[in-house]
């Protein structure tokens, strides 16, 4: 197989072999379906799988090689254009995290470089011990508890997510639509939204306008967009009963 840039998988072999040989390994290609097999001092083998891009097929192939080795690397060409480099930078952290979770190593191969400088080991194989992010976990559970009901559908895209913040803003907007202008304290008391003052002042959705000191009303945009959330407000009302 050859990429659009004219590189084939076989072009990756020589740089990877040179890398492993520089580390003292004896290297051979295409041994029992493994692209590259290396061994040193009779120890367990190192296996490297070559592909022209990082893909699910490559990951699955690498995982399958754990049947014969605990040291498995994936090798792909280094990005060779500005667009490819930009795309790689946006994905690199996630790719490395995935490889680390699976215990796979990762090698970038730059065939256009001079021999000896054609490979970069981004990650060595090893056991993964994930560390939970306590702050993010607290944020997750706080948002889960704050939402009224289950207003969203999992897996949708290009759809506004109904967060607990949006739910609170909808309660404030619905009250103002019903009774007109009101003081912040009145809105807070009637809706039970503790952060009503912040929501009205920051006005992220452009639904609210201050008509006097401490008094807010609904903008024409707020009144119009409120109609889009009738089903959400009904669900919230049912949850409150």
Q: With respect to residue 23, please indicate whether it lies within any of the assigned structural domains.
A: yes
For residues 154 and 203, state if they share a domain: yes
At residue 163, the pLDDT reads: 93
Domain assignment of residue 235, yes or no: yes
Residues of the chain with pLDDT under 50: none
The pTM of the whole model exceeds 0.75 = no
Cβ pair 179, 206 in contact under 8 A: no
Q: Is 236 in contact with 171 (CB distance < 8 Å)?
A: yes
Is position 129 within any domain?
Answer: no
Same domain, 168 and 109: no
pLDDT score for 81: 87
The CATH number of the domain where 192 resides is what?
Answer: 1.10.10.10
* pLDDT at residue 225 in the model: 94
- The verdict on residue 224 lying in a domain is yes
Do 142 and 90 belong together in one domain?
A: no
The residues with which 8 forms a beta bridge, in sequence order, are 2
Rounded Cα gap, residues 60 and 17, in angstroms? 22
The structural domain count of the chain equals: 2
Beta strands in 90-179 (DSSP E): 105-109, 119-123
Tokens 């004219």 label which residue? Answer: 6
Q: Tell me the C-alpha distance between 51 and 8, whole Å.
A: 9
Q: What domain range includes position 141?
A: 134-240
Q: What is the model's pLDDT at position 2?
A: 59
- Please identify, among 83, 101, 123, the residue that sits at the C-terminal boundary of a domain: 123
| Whole-number pLDDT of residue 128 | 67
Tell me, yes or no, whether 189 and 150 share the same domain. Answer: yes
Q: How far apart are CA 216 and CA 220, in angstroms?
A: 13
If asked whether residues 235 and 202 sit together in one domain, one would say yes
CATH number at residue 92: 3.40.50
Q: Are residues 153 and 212 in the same domain?
A: yes
pLDDT at 189: 95
Residues 25 and 113 in one domain: yes
Cβ contacts of 29 within 8 Å, gap of 6 or more: 13, 17, 35, 36, 37
Structure-token pair, residue 153: 């559908």
């Amino acid at each position: 197989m050859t990429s659009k840039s004219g590189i084939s998988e076989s072009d990756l072999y020589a740089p990877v072999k040179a890398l492993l040989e520089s580390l003292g390994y004896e290297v051979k290609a295409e041994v029992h379906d493994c692209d590259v097999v290396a061994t040193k001092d009779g120890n367990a083998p190192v296996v490297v799988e070559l592909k022209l891009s990082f893909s699910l097929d490559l990951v699955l192939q690498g995982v399958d090689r754990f049947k014969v080795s605990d040291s498995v690397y994936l090798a792909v060409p280094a990005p060779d254009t500005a667009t490819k480099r930009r795309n790689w930078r946006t994905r690199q952290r996630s790719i490395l995290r995935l490889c680390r979770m699976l215990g796979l190593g990762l090698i970038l191969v730059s065939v256009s470089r001079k021999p000896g400088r054609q490979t970069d080991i981004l990650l060595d194989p090893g056991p993964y011990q994930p560390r939970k992010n306590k702050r993010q976990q607290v944020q997750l559970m706080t948002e889960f508890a704050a939402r009224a009901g289950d207003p969203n559908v999992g897996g949708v895209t290009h759809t506004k997510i109904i967060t607990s913040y949006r739910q609170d803003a909808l309660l404030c907007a619905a009250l103002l639509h019903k009774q007109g202008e009101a003081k912040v304290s009145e809105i807070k008391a009637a809706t039970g939204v503790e952060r009503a003052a912040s929501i009205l002042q920051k006005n992220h959705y452009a639904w609210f306008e201050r008509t006097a000191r401490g008094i807010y009303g609904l903008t024409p945009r707020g009144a119009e967009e409120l109609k889009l959330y009738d089903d959400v407000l009904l669900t919230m009302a049912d949850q409150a009963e």
